[in-house]
Structure 1
């Protein structure tokens, strides 16, 4: 019995004592850290699209839950967020340690996006539509081609050229009146100084081109219209240029690549037929060993609907413009949606990415393929106008859709977006690591124009003086 009594005393000392009786010894004593919710913001005032970085300084927490006040949140310890609309947002952090929760909230002010844009003066009653933007090869300045239309008076519809200096001040030059529907245009600056302006010229069943030529000091040289061919763009090819588009031949439209010399004189054309009937090239790029062209096959009819069986087309050519392969994408969201020749007015965009993948975009349909045209990713942005942009950033690319700029990886996975509030954006121009855009937006049954910019992460840059 004595041995049992001594063992009992030993257990009592091991368990310890309190005034309320026996208690177990805590193997994980309280380290003195109580639960605390804490975070710091990289900025409390930012612009739409600007990235806000959050630094967590909480104590004692095992999990974190951020509510950004815009319908989104994060469970990361140190998240980042950007806002698509202007306003004041309350960011709330809730932390949890397994037993209780603590919260902290802070407010940020997001400046309305329009405060960062420049707005050219467009008279009430006039519609403005951007058709192209680029960089002048001699001056290095950004330029744009714009269509202004008088919706209430007898002013008509006119094309203008604007060129911007380093302070984004611009000078405008009249180019020509618009005789038919138009939604695409480009300019080629010849080494001689001549400027060749090319615009689409269509009705529901008419498919053609309007060309206007000026000297470098804006003296009109001539104007030429064609009802049997259309050019969508050009590529330098040594001392010559390749104009690509479509041309009627033997009763059908065929893809056309026209060679022009340094003076702008055409001296050869390569025509090819794909699919059951008509075909066109909307964009064309140079790649190792030759060229890749992006367009469509379709049936052009003499009665309604004027266009049927529209399907995207990818064409591979060698350095001598011989076709080596082609792909017709049978499964397209656009089949049946493009119903007349006006549907070809707009932006066809094709780029090659640093890993060799191709991204192509037209009429709201985005397709990413490998270097041979095999599909990796497809997306259709319904409600997007056919005047939209695509630009390669090497290992990523950016497109415009209705109201949004979207950034993708080279495999076609979206990695960023910003609501920039434009509806028509023909080109995104990269200069000094800044992405510039000249966009149209719908307002009260009219289209107005603004000039904006962002960085490669789609954070909006303030262009105002």
Structure 2
């Protein structure tokens, strides 16, 4: 009897094992994800955390035309709006599950400070900086309904109450997309603006007292200045100076790259004009270990006031500001065809690899210390008033029409954000934040007529291009 019971138990155990093998538990597949923040700013990066179960592949659709097959992607949006993020997961057997979440992206303009305007005002910044413990910008101003040609204003920004204190500094004649201001040892100031027409490139010089009241004004076409660099006790005002041509007697006067060496009262001690380069200019100047490197352009003259064949140019100088050598870049995509095109921003910056970035108009180059081109990159057609900022070991940032771009030390694009600025003259790093002023597109509708203009906003971002709210 015991043998029969034992055999029955073994038989039942065998049946039980057979049933376990034939009736597998149902496959468990769950689509699940969380977002680090469901309310974002334009350009703000957010992290997706994947909590799915049983999935062998993932497909995210972010609702803006972009997708990802990463299991936990980093995401940002370039436009404001409400987006549905969808995750589709697939198991190894082909089963599919889907889940969604909503994210809201705020309009980036809510983070900016806006300069006050009156009806018809057309204003945009042509310089932005930090001086006397305050941020300021130089404003190119005119009113589309006024008969006058316009003016320049010095606008001081008070972040304690977000106010703009505007001071008139000069009348505006001709076009101007570039200007700078320097403070003398007696607190007087010198204001310089590039002035141009298609056939003319020149300079406006205004001396101001400590209260920014104009003391004297000069306009001329024989020289142009793009900026100033302090070098120990000297102040280097760089640009171009008109000289007699030794090679082409038919063209009696050219502008050649030039530096005014001045004291702290703005008095010229010496002028260096680099006759080795005819019909060229210096748009930016950088100190090196054994001298200076200048960035600008060179052209071939057609007649006294016009040119062709524009090429970017760098010039090497020694510590005594003497010419050493120069390099031109023939493979440019910059279509500078008249003097108005040279009324622009030219930027050079050294990065941590001891290479240099050159940026103007719609292209930038990465070059080594000898001027050899390593990388050239073109950007879409844009305003020629743009900026460059080196970030030590983190690469560099450039502005372009509507966008900010961050690149690593090898000029690989890391991130872009659409910040909606058209003309951005400078990026200023202060207290680990990057501040900027920019002109943005706007319009007035009057008597059913639409008038397109530029207006000005002030913005800030961190080094990862996340916009900071200034309100």
Q: Same fold (TM over 0.5)?
A: yes
Aligned to 1:152: 145
CA contact (8 A) 1:376 1:412 kept: no
Aligned to 1:89: 83
Aligned to 1:386: 384
Aligned to 1:406: 405
Q: Secondary structure at the match of 1:327?
A: strand
- Are residue 346 (structure 1) and residue 344 (structure 2) matched? yes
Q: Equivalents in 2 of 1:360, 1:267: separation in Å?
A: 29
Q: Equivalents in 1 of 2:209, 2:304: separation in Å?
A: 41
Q: Secondary structure at the match of 1:242?
A: strand
After superposition, what is the alpha-carbon deviation per residue over 1:29-54, rounded to whole angstroms, capped at 9, x for unaligned?
A: 97987211111111111111111111
After superposition, what is the alpha-carbon deviation per residue over 1:39-90, rounded to whole angstroms, capped at 9, x for unaligned?
A: 1111111111111111111112222221111111222222111111110001
- Deviation of residue 190 (structure 1)? 2.1
CA contact (8 A) 2:149 2:173 kept: no
- Are residue 329 (structure 1) and residue 329 (structure 2) matched? yes
Q: Equivalents in 2 of 1:266, 1:301: separation in Å?
A: 32
Q: Equivalents in 2 of 1:17, 1:313: separation in Å?
A: 88
After superposition, what is the alpha-carbon deviation per residue over 1:186-244, rounded to whole angstroms, capped at 9, x for unaligned?
A: 11122321211100122222221111111222233222222100010000111220011
**1:448 equivalent among 423, 431, 455:** 455
Structure 1 residues 259-270: aligned runs within 5 Å = 259-270=261-272
Unmatched segments (≥5 aa) in structure 2: 1-10, 245-252, 444-451
Q: Secondary structure at the match of 1:342?
A: helix
After superposition, what is the alpha-carbon deviation per residue over 1:331-386, rounded to whole angstroms, capped at 9, x for unaligned?
A: 1102xx21111111111011000111111111111111122222222122232111
Moved more, 265-274 or 47-56: 265-274
CA contact (8 A) 2:170 2:214 kept: no
Aligned to 1:140: 133
- Are residue 214 (structure 1) and residue 208 (structure 2) matched? yes
Structure 1 residues 253-402: aligned runs within 5 Å = 253-274=255-276, 277-302=278-303, 306-334=306-334, 337-395=335-393, 396-402=395-401
CA contact (8 A) 1:390 1:427 kept: yes
Structure 1 residues 37-48: aligned runs within 5 Å = 37-48=31-42
Unmatched segments (≥5 aa) in structure 1: 1-12
After superposition, what is the alpha-carbon deviation per residue over 1:91-122, rounded to whole angstroms, capped at 9, x for unaligned?
A: 11112221212121100000011111111122
**1:113 equivalent among 104, 108, 111:** 108
Aligned to 2:99: 104
Aligned to 1:9: none
- Give TM-score, length-normalised by structure 2: 0.89
Q: Which runs of 4+ in 1 moved over 4 A?
A: 16-19, 22-26, 29-33
Aligned to 2:423: 424
Q: Equivalents in 2 of 1:41, 1:442: separation in Å?
A: 33
Aligned to 1:172: 166
Q: Equivalents in 2 of 1:169, 1:462: separation in Å?
A: 16
CA contact (8 A) 2:115 2:164 kept: no
Q: Secondary structure at the match of 2:65?
A: coil
Aligned to 2:464: 457
Q: Equivalents in 1 of 2:378, 2:290: separation in Å?
A: 31
Q: Equivalents in 1 of 2:140, 2:24: separation in Å?
A: 73
Aligned to 1:123: 118
Q: Equivalents in 1 of 2:202, 2:301: separation in Å?
A: 13
CA contact (8 A) 1:376 1:411 kept: no
Q: Secondary structure at the match of 2:114?
A: coil
Moved more, 147-156 or 64-73: 147-156
Q: Equivalents in 2 of 1:303, 1:244: separation in Å?
A: 22
Aligned to 1:3: none
Q: Equivalents in 1 of 2:148, 2:91: separation in Å?
A: 70
Root mean square deviation of aligned Cα: 2.2
Q: Equivalents in 2 of 1:217, 1:42: separation in Å?
A: 50
CA contact (8 A) 2:169 2:213 kept: no
- Give TM-score, length-normalised by structure 1: 0.90
Q: Secondary structure at the match of 2:297?
A: strand
Aligned to 2:48: 54
Aligned to 2:232: 238
Q: Equivalents in 1 of 2:56, 2:138: separation in Å?
A: 57
